Amino acid sequence: MKKSVFLSNFLIFFFPLYFFTTCTRELTVYASFRQIERGRWKQDQEYTCEVLLEDSILLHHIDITGRFKYTYPFDSLSLAVTVTAPSGGSFCDTLSFGLTNSRHQLWGEFRFPYCSGVRFTEKGVWRFSFCHNMEEETLHGVTAIGVFIEVQ
């Protein structure tokens, strides 16, 4: 009898505790943003965001984020993104994002999916470097660029 009461009390106490700690797990979020001086981004200017990642097991989702003034003259943004691991290895990717809604109105901020299911195989500081690939030498109206990472 004592054994079943103990087991019953154990389950009543620990099951809700286990349930709430596993089901309410927050997504770990890493974010890094760089302000672009006076909203003028020259083609030869590289903006680098650094993110300290200490989890080399879980999968992550990466978004590219940015801010624009409503005077930004284009409806898209083309970027070269270089991702550099803590050991120095790197790869480059070219991206293009549409920046208008269905009524062709420019968004003031954006957050676009870049990669899902990413496992950062090295612990340490990862660098995300951005250059624009637009035809204009200087982009006017881009005020910030960055990266947003969360655990899947």
Pseudo-torsion of CA 9, 12, 14, 18, nearest 10°? 170
Strand, helix or coil for residue 84: strand
In the beta sheet, which residues pair with residue 80?
A: 94, 131
For every residue of 92-108, DSSP letters joined together read: EEEEEEE-B-TT-PBPS
In the beta sheet, which residues pair with residue 84?
A: 90, 127
**pTM to 2 decimal places:** 0.78
Distance from C-alpha of 106 to C-alpha of 140, rounded to nearest angstrom:
14
Q: Which domains does the chain have, with CATH numbers?
A: 27-151 (2.60.120.260)
32-85 pLDDT, tens digit per residue, is 999 999 999 999 999 999 999 998 899 999 999 999 887 888 888 999 999 999
Residue 76: partners with Cβ closer than 8 Å, 6 or more residues away: 96, 97, 98, 99
Residue with tokens 């709430």: 20
23-45 pLDDT, tens digit per residue, is 445 576 889 999 999 999 999 99
pLDDT mean over 111-138: 94
Percent of the chain whose predicted confidence (pLDDT) is above 70: 78
